[in-house]
Amino acid sequence: MSKTKGFVALEDGTVFEGISFGAEGVNSGEVVFNTSMTGYQEILTDPSYAGQIITMTYPLIGNYGTNPDDVESRGVFARGFIVREYCNYPSNYRSTMSLGEYLKKHNLPGVSDIDTRELTRKLRVTGAMRGVIAAGDYTKEELVKMAKNSPSLVGQDLVSTVTCEAAYEFEEYCPWMEGKPEIKYNVAVYDYGVKKNILRALCSIGCKVKVYPAKTPATVILADNPDGIFLSNGPGDPEAVSYAVESIRELIGKKPIMGICLGHQLIALALGGKTYKLKFGHRGANHPVRDEQTQKVEITSQNHGFCVDMTALPADDTDITHLNLNDNTAEGITHKKFPVFSVQHHPEAAAGPHDALYLFKRFTDMMDANKG
């Protein structure tokens, strides 16, 4: 294992020193933490982490290696990876490459032997901070200066950096589904940073899926006449993605729409609501959410730093359908007049529990009703 020094420097002047296990170099970003025990490869390849340096709170990371099947996008979009203890010798029959090798392949700095408990407590108290992750010959003073001069996520349009360049059709299926379902629906997916398992879940419930770049005009989507429109997850500040809000506003009431994560926030903005930045966000695979329609509690996978302001939603047109039981923030909304609903969490999981998979069935029910 490399003994190259690794550093994590925060904008408040705090510096953690550890050992590099990824690529050498330096990256800046917003330092956040994720409480998942597994799923680090899916986390690294989730485009929603664009612009962020990820701290894993679970102490041992890398023990099952990496493989080509667990990637959620075309690459790694995170800016860095921080762990307490890194396992350089993975033991798993699916593993084809160690996590350190994987980070080097994607030119991503990784630092281990950091007190991740202390770092996480600092982020919980102070809030997510700008920071720098570095591996190599750097002074602590220059790293802190770089952290202070790095851009904030607020106001950044990161969607344009992760979306696809051209529309494409997608056909893969969730591994726990047997056989191919009968194709019943044509679904247009706006790619704001979509995860592959979202697309697989749609295919697995009988959807023919076509994925469109984030800046695709609403007129193009309507000209293709889909049965439903899906708004994906994605990174950054939703209020900075004004072109998406305008397109969604044009589509509401014309086709059934389902949104998750960033798609949920963009729907709220299109309906006249507001969003705000959470202190340290929700990132992990164990967040309790209550479905207000059934009063059932589901354990969910989450990754977001912004949230819908419940008090700013138009009460005549919208209902809160889901509530986060950790902090009582909005986790889902539905329109009272038009076939539109959204959730903040990730029903497709990958990685995480499958408690919220029923929401995809709710989408097909909505498309069936609209056809009728």
Average of per-residue pLDDT across 326-355: 91
In one letter, which amino acid is 225? N
For residue 314, name the pLDDT band (cuts at 50, 70, 90): confident
Q: Report the pLDDT value the prediction gives residue 175, as an integer from 0 to 100.
A: 74
Same domain, 277 and 351: yes
Q: State which of 114, 149, 184 marks the end of a domain.
A: 149
Same domain, 133 and 180: no
Tokens of 233: 């997850």
Same domain, 229 and 354: yes
CATH of the domain at 341: 3.40.50.880
Cβ neighbours of 339 (radius 10 Å): 20
Average of per-residue pLDDT across 139-151: 96
For residue 338, name the pLDDT band (cuts at 50, 70, 90): very high
Give catalytic status of residue 87 as yes or no. no
Average of per-residue pLDDT across 33-50: 96
pLDDT at 355 over 80: no
Same domain, 130 and 173: no
Q: Is residue 102 part of a domain?
A: yes
Q: State which of 121, 149, 177 marks the end of a domain.
A: 149
pLDDT at 2 over 60: no
Alpha carbon distance, N-terminus to C-terminus of the chain: 62
- Mean pLDDT, all residues of the chain: 94
Could you report the per-residue pLDDT of 262-280, keeping only the tens digit for each?
A: 999 999 999 999 999 999 9
Range with the poorest average pLDDT among 71-85, 295-309, 349-363 = 349-363
Same domain, 76 and 9: yes
Same domain, 163 and 134: no
Same domain, 83 and 206: no
Tokens of 142: 């220059």
CATH of the domain at 143: 3.50.30.20
Same domain, 59 and 118: yes
Q: Is residue 154 part of a domain?
A: no
For residue 1, name the pLDDT band (cuts at 50, 70, 90): very low
For residue 181, name the pLDDT band (cuts at 50, 70, 90): confident
Cβ neighbours of 343 (radius 10 Å): 25
Give catalytic status of residue 24 as yes or no. no
Q: Report the pLDDT value the prediction gives residue 372, as an integer from 0 to 100.
A: 64
Catalytic residue among 11, 42, 298, 348: 348
Catalytic residue among 264, 282, 335, 346: 346
Q: What are the two backbone dihedrals, phi and then psi, of residue 255, each rounded to the nearest 5 degrees?
A: -145, 155
Give catalytic status of residue 261 as yes or no. yes
Domain count, the chain: 2
Average of per-residue pLDDT across 239-247: 97
Q: Is residue 323 part of a domain?
A: yes
Q: What angle do CA 310, 316, 322 make, to 5 degrees?
A: 40
Same domain, 356 and 253: yes
Catalytic residue among 87, 174, 261, 307: 261
Same domain, 171 and 88: no
Q: State which of 109, 125, 149 marks the end of a domain.
A: 149
Cβ-contact 36, 160 below 8 angstroms: no
Same domain, 271 and 311: yes
pLDDT above 90 coverage of the chain, percent: 91
Could you report the per-residue pLDDT of 73-89, keeping only the tens digit for each?
A: 999 999 999 999 999 99
Crossing angle (nearest 10°) for helices 262-270 and 242-251: 70
Same domain, 185 and 327: yes
Structural domain including 239 reads 159-371
Dist CA 127 CA 120 (whole Å): 9
